[in-house]
Amino acid sequence: MSLHRNPVVALVAGAVALSLLAGCGGSPAGRSLSSTSTVVANLDALAKPLQARTFKTLKGTVTILLPDDMQGLKHQLFRFETRSANGQTNVVQCAHNIDLAPYIPLKVGDQVEVKGVFIEEQPYDVIHWTHHDPKGGEGGYVKLNGKLYQ
């Protein structure tokens, strides 16, 4: 069964990925995914932001390369620092799906442009969906040294 053809499987995978990205090690909202009713509640909470897909394009400097997440859908993880027009800095964690897009040869200090679905989260905002959409919809990318990784 393909994750891209089964929306329930895709949402469960997304719930697990978001909990890992948030660094809490548990499910969103701190609930266990052990019961069906809890999974449904967590999926309902996640479905709205996933359907809305608020894309942002951010530019910044890579500050840390994190170990790749090789569980389930594989993701290259890194953080980069952005600077707003008023000079405020923000650190964003990128989850770049390397099952759907090429691996990026990043180094700390690299300048990147990242387009993806932006989620405000603590302790770091997260940007994901930085790849083409396998169903033909809007996709994202990571741009490094003029080359798009999507």
pLDDT tens for the chain, residues 1 to 150 = 333 333 333 433 444 444 434 333 333 333 333 333 333 344 444 444 555 678 999 999 999 999 999 999 999 999 999 998 899 999 999 999 999 999 999 999 999 999 999 999 999 999 999 999 999 989 999 999 999 999
Give the count of beta carbons closer than 10 Å to the beta carbon of residue 32.
Answer: 10
| Maximum separation of any 2 CA atoms in the chain, in Å | 48
Tell me the two tokens of residue 147.
């080359």
Q: Which residue has the tokens 């069964």?
A: 1
Regarding pTM above 0.95, the answer is: no
